């Protein structure tokens, strides 16, 4: 996790989280363990619970407990166990959290419901998932948000890396581990074409699947769009946009990734064909309207039809497989920077509202990740912007004449209207005295 380790190395001497008491509710994986160790190295005390009953890696939770961290989680918790773990994480005599790191909003919801007085000492909330962010915006709109909150999910580093690339690789891993399905020729409908949906569609298309997309947002729908007009097809990403009820009888795999609820309802389940695989890549298990009991289930209809439901409709990749460490390094670093920003912000900078992570922090994360790959000198060369001011048009014309006069005489073609102008247009420069940002 190069970006996270770079942050630890750079900031552990300053201890920017000294005195912070962070209570967290995220997926407890090896990557989360590195994040917790980093927060501790920066001066924070941590107590942790799991945000998903299937995603906890028991060996990681045991190692963290052995290392002195308070962790309340195990793989395969019941719903009652889930809320018990969160309560034990929060409710400790003599220990009052002052920062919240949440994934899905369950921890924030529990504190708001059971221990509202805790918010008097809490400085801020850092939320990672779209589901949790929606819940925060609802609290803010109702005037019930008691502290500032940082929306990590909509930060550039989370959207463009974790949501896209992480899902692009892990969707195939999750489906293979649970079903051993062959993707070539399979008809797949992906519900939602945000960054998660884009990653899923790209991976499945590359494996030879026939991919359909459902989307209600007009911008995302246009990105996915493919339409055949007479003979010539026109497209953006080249996926056929459909309504779910148009293809539900014929598809082999249904994947939801909207962050919404009741996307695949009982009506659609009744119409699916025998052996159809149904799974969810959103955070919450409310997208698929079904109740089941284990990681991979056969839901059997009275007529003998079977539907394969994965992870009870919960998040597939972290419930049934793993995700790329390299990508999660970027997300974990973004979370740590958000905690540092909220904890150290002077009074009055952030009000009781939901904020986006400052863009400069995202750039810091990307630079730390890139430095570890290419070496600091190479990345400084790559990322340093130099302003290049071109000379007046007369100088450009003189250079053009000098370079291409011979070609003009030989061909009889005006160099300025052919080769000369195209040379400068290729640099994105359109007039005299124009400037261009060039990466050197």
| Residue 317 marked in a binding site | yes
| Residue 29 marked in a binding site | yes
| Residue 81 marked in a binding site | no
**3-class DSSP state for residue 201?**
helix
| Residue 123 marked in a binding site | no
> Among candidates 78, 74, 106, 68, which has minimal Cα distance to 90?
106
Tokens 């389940």 belong to 269
Q: Which two tokens stand for residue 79?
A: 């719903």
| Residue 37 marked in a binding site | no
| Residue 415 marked in a binding site | no
| Residue 195 marked in a binding site | yes
CA quadruple 33, 176, 189, 205: dihedral sign: positive
Q: Which two tokens stand for residue 226?
A: 């493919």
d(CA 48, CA 24): 5
| Residue 158 marked in a binding site | yes
Please state the φ and ψ torsions of residue 20, each to the nearest 5 degrees: -75, 135
Q: Which two tokens stand for residue 135?
A: 């819940």
DSSP 288-305: B-----SSEEEEE-TTS-
| Neighbour tally for 365: CB within 10 Å | 28
| Residue 258 marked in a binding site | no
| Residue 197 marked in a binding site | yes
Report CA-CA distances (Å) from 59 to 28, 31, 41, 64, 92.
10, 13, 22, 9, 24
| Residue 132 marked in a binding site | no
| Residue 196 marked in a binding site | yes
| 215-220 LR contacts (CB < 8 Å, sep 24+) | 215/241, 217/193, 220/192, 220/193, 220/194
| Residue 353 marked in a binding site | no
Give the residue ranges of the annotated binding site: 29, 103, 128, 158, 162, 194-199, 215, 317
Give the residue ranges of the annotated binding site for NAD(+): 194-199, 215, 317
Give the residue ranges of the annotated binding site for substrate: 29, 103, 128, 158, 162
């Amino acid at each position: 996790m190069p970006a996270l380790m770079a942050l630890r190395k750079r900031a552990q001497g300053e201890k920017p989280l000294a005195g912070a008491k962070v209570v967290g509710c995220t997926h407890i994986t090896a990557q989360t363990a590195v994040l917790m160790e980093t927060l501790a190295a920066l001066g924070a005390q941590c107590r942790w619970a799991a945000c998903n009953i299937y995603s906890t890696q028991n060996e990681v939770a045991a190692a963290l407990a052995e290392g002195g961290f308070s962790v309340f989680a195990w793989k395969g918790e019941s719903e009652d166990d889930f809320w018990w773990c969160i309560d034990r994480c929060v409710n400790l005599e003599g220990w009052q959290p002052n920062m919240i790191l949440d994934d899905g909003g369950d921890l924030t919801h529990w504190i708001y419901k059971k221990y509202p007085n805790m918010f008097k000492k809490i400085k801020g909330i850092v939320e990672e998932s779209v589901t949790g962010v929606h819940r925060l915006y609802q609290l803010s709109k109702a005037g019930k948000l008691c502290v500032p909150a940082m929306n990590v999910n909509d930060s550039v580093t989370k959207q463009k890396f974790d949501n896209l690339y992480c899902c692009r690789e892990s969707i195939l891993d999750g489906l293979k581990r649970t079903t051993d399905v062959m993707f070539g020729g399979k008809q797949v409908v992906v519900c939602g074409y945000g960054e998660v949906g884009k990653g899923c569609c790209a991976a499945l298309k590359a494996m030879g699947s026939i991919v359909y997309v459902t989307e209600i947002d007009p911008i995302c729908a246009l990105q996915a769009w493919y339409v055949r007009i007479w003979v010539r097809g026109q497209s953006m990403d080249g996926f056929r946009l459909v309504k779910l009820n148009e293809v539900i009888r014929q598809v082999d795999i249904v994947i939801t990734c909207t962050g919404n609820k009741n996307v695949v309802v009982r009506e659609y389940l009744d119409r699916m064909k025998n052996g159809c695989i149904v799974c969810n890549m959103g955070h919450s298990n409310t997208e698929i309207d079904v109740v089941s009991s284990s990681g991979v289930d056969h839901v059997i209809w009275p007529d003998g039809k079977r539907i394969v439901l994965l992870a009870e409709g919960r998040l597939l990749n972290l419930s049934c497989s793993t995700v790329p460490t390299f990508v999660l390094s970027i997300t974990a670093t973004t979370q740590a920077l958000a905690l540092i920003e909220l904890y150290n912000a002077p009074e009055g900078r952030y009000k009781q509202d939901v904020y986006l992570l400052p863009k400069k922090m995202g750039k810091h994360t990307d630079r730390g990740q890139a430095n570890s790959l290419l070496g600091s000198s190479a990345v400084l060369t790559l990322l340093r912007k130099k302003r290049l001011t071109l000379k007046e048009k007369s100088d450009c014309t003189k250079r053009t004449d000098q370079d291409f006069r011979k070609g003009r005489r030989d061909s009889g073609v005006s160099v300025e209207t052919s080769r000369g102008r195209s040379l400068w247009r290729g640099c994105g420069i359109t007039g005299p005295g124009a400037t261009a940002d060039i990466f050197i």
